[in-house]
């Protein structure tokens, strides 16, 4: 199956009830590409967290914005981009906080860093840019045992 440069786009209201549509789409595409059940579940958690961050943090209270989600189907994996047009945050600072959760109890963990930590733990690559909103690019590669013959 030649999937190079095939992209599916969704534009959704930045409301929690629409995140399930993203998860369902991800499940269908991940299955089609041959990802394992475990990898699909990991991707669903990471992508839902990126969407949830946009819902909760991007837009001022009372202002409903949008989330654009792009699924890039690659020959050897999938790249999922979650973009909002709301207020940004300092990714490097949050990632540094998230990276130091070892030796901490759950009560000691700072709120706001766990989502980034999860995304980094569950995906192969995580890129964040803040330029007129926030764009999170999450990449998962097929392992050799998962690749379709």
**What was the pLDDT predicted at 149?**
45
Only one residue has tokens 């991940």, namely 30
pLDDT tens-digit readout, 15-49? 999 999 999 999 999 999 999 999 999 999 999 99
First to last CA, the chain: 9
**What are the structural domains of the chain?**
6-141 (3.30.565.10)
**What was the pLDDT predicted at 39?**
98
Mean of pLDDT over the chain: 84
The residues, any chain, with a CB within 8 Å of residue 93's CB and separated by 6 or more, are: none
**What was the pLDDT predicted at 82?**
98
pLDDT tens-digit readout, 2-17? 554 699 999 999 999 9
Residue 68 has pLDDT above 90, yes or no: yes
**What was the pLDDT predicted at 8?**
97
Tokens representing 79?
């790249």
- Percent of the chain with pLDDT strictly greater than 90: 61
């Amino acid at each position: 199956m030649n999937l190079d440069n095939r992209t599916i786009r969704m534009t959704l209201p930045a409301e929690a009830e629409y995140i399930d549509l993203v998860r369902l789409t991800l499940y269908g595409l991940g299955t089609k590409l041959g990802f394992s059940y475990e990898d699909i579940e990991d991707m669903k958690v990471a992508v839902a967290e990126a969407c949830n961050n946009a819902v909760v943090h991007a837009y001022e209270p009372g202002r409903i914005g949008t989330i654009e989600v792009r699924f890039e189907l690659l020959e050897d994996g999938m790249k999922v981009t979650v973009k909002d047009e709301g207020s940004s945050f300092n990714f490097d600072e949050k990632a540094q906080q998230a990276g130091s959760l070892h030796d901490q109890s759950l009560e000691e963990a700072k709120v706001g860093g766990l989502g980034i930590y999860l995304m980094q733990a569950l995906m192969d690559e995580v890129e964040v840019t803040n330029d007129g909103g926030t764009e999170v690019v999450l990449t998962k590669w097929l392992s050799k045992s998962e690749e379709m013959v």
